[in-house]
Amino acid sequence: MDITIKKTEEAPVDERRRVWSRDPLIRRFLSWGHQEEGKDSSRPEFIHHFEVYLKNRLVGDVRVFGDRGDMKKNMAQLIVVLGESRGMGVGSRAVGLVLERFRGIYKAIYCRVNRYNIASIRMLRQNGFIFNNLVGNEFILEHEYKE
């Protein structure tokens, strides 16, 4: 399967992404405005944007980002949005490519996933993420880089 990722400065808000943002499955499981009690809701301290392509067609986005606490722990958070081509292994391959890019940079990468989003949990587990915690309705899965 011809899957590539491309680092971009920022994911533009275009018609394709607007369609994705209205997808009921994405809206159900993606916590755009998630904020833990007592946590600062400011912009992340760092963010890396990647576009996901299947045979040169844009099908999703991946972001790796973090706040000051993440920076102190040398960790980052991952979020994946596949607007198209779900269930074909595209997300799993894209996550694997992103993880390889950050080997040697971060100690670990974690992802917050709605506990009912079985497909995303399975995809993360295939990429070496393990259960770390349950916060509210979200599992926190973590991929720790081994030396």
Q: How many domains does the chain have?
A: 1
Q: Tokens 């926190």 belong to which residue?
A: 140
What HEC string does the chain produce?
A: CCEEEEEECCCCCCHHHHHHHHCHHHHHHCCCCCCCCCCCCCCCCEEEEEEEEECCEEEEEEEEEECHHHHHHCEEEEEEEECCCCCCCHHHHHHHHHHHHCECCECEEEEEEECCCHHHHHHHHHCCCEEEEEECCEEEEEEECCC
CATH number of the domain where residue 9 is located: 3.40.630.30
1, 5, 31, 74, 113 from 55: Cα distances, Å: 8, 11, 29, 34, 27
Q: How does pLDDT run along the chain (147 residues), one tens digit per residue?
A: 799 999 998 767 788 777 777 777 776 666 543 444 444 455 789 999 999 999 999 999 999 999 999 999 999 999 888 877 677 789 999 999 999 999 999 999 999 998 988 999 999 999 999 999 999 989 999 999 987
- Give the structural domain span for 12: 3-144
Confirm whether pTM is higher than 0.95.
no
